[in-house]
Amino acid sequence: MTALSFITPNWPAPKKVQAFSTLRVGGVSQFPYDSFNVGAHVGDDNAAVLANRQRLPRYQHVKWLNQVHGNDCILVTPDSEQNQDADATTTTYSGLVCAVMTADCLPILLCDMHGTEVAAVHAGWKGLADGVIENSCNVMRSKPNNLLAWIGPHISQANYEVNETVLSHFDQYAHCFTSGKTGGKYQADLQTIALEKLTAVGISNVYTADLCTYANAKQLFSHRRATHQGLAKTGRMVSGIYLQP
């Protein structure tokens, strides 16, 4: 098991705010989940997933979700149940880790400028279309103009081909789609859609990792890449954020 390393957001968050996004290396999971898979729902050995999760910062205080590609954001407290059906969490409690798992979708971390509130959002195309960003900001008590946002590793436009159905959900964002590599397909720019949605709700301080999950096979899991490789399953990274106790 190699040393565990994280991606740390490059943003001017208050010192009290701690955030991280995992890579796929440094864990104990075996192929095709090698090696730092934290997803308990993808067919990996449960003992391996638990061992990996126990290496996370404040692992005993991570509030895991059963992500359903919806738009619900829940306010979590120390008494909140694990694995609730939702795609975003927010909290004002110090030490609680808001977390979302991804393997191509956008992980979006939010905090206020005073270090009193954090949130984690899972945004795939369905969540973006259904308003997961807007709903999450509505649940948070901070005004959007007092928030910082960070978009973590996700699939880039160059590697994300979608069909007409996906395009039809984004009439206002047609400029975020270009012609696909095959007929009737389109290349979707999820990051620009997210950036414009964050700006529209009033968040002007947005930062990005600018890392493509598909293109970085050694460092990051990608569901789309695994599918293209003929693999039925792959692992999940986690992006987490919390207020230092």
32 cis-preceded (ω within 30 degrees of 0): yes
Q: What is the pLDDT of residue 181?
A: 86
Give yes or no for residue 116 having a pLDDT over 90.
Answer: yes
Per cent of the chain over pLDDT 90 is 97
Q: Tens of pLDDT along 213-233?
A: 999 999 999 999 999 999 999
Q: pLDDT averaged over the chain?
A: 97
Give the closest residue to 150 by CA, choosing from 4, 12, 6: 12
Instruction: Give the span between the Cα atoms of 34 and 194, in whole angstroms.
Output: 29
Instruction: Give the span between the Cα atoms of 194 and 155, in whole angstroms.
Output: 13
Q: Where are the domains of the chain?
A: 6-243
Q: How confident is the model at residue 3 (pLDDT cuts 50, 70, 90)?
A: low
Beta bridge partners of 65: 84
Q: Tens of pLDDT along 143-158?
A: 999 999 999 999 999 9
With beta carbons less than 8 A apart as the criterion, state whether 54 and 39 touch: no
User: Once rounded to an integer, what is the mean pLDDT over residues 105-132?
Assistant: 98
User: Once rounded to an integer, what is the mean pLDDT over residues 57-68?
Assistant: 98
Q: Tens of pLDDT along 184-204?
A: 999 999 999 999 999 999 999
Give yes or no for residue 4 having a pLDDT over 90.
Answer: no
Give yes or no for residue 2 having a pLDDT over 90.
Answer: no
Three-state secondary structure string covering 23-35: CCCCCCCCCCCCC
User: Once rounded to an integer, what is the mean pLDDT over residues 100-107?
Assistant: 98
With beta carbons less than 8 A apart as the criterion, state whether 93 and 224 touch: no
Q: What is the pLDDT of residue 5?
A: 83
Q: What is the pLDDT of residue 65?
A: 98
Give yes or no for residue 1 having a pLDDT over 60.
Answer: no
Give the closest residue to 152 by CA, choosing from 96, 196, 194, 117: 194
Q: What is the pLDDT of residue 93?
A: 98
Give the closest residue to 193 by CA, choosing from 100, 101, 129: 129
Q: What would the CATH number be for the domain defined by 6-243? A: 3.60.140.10
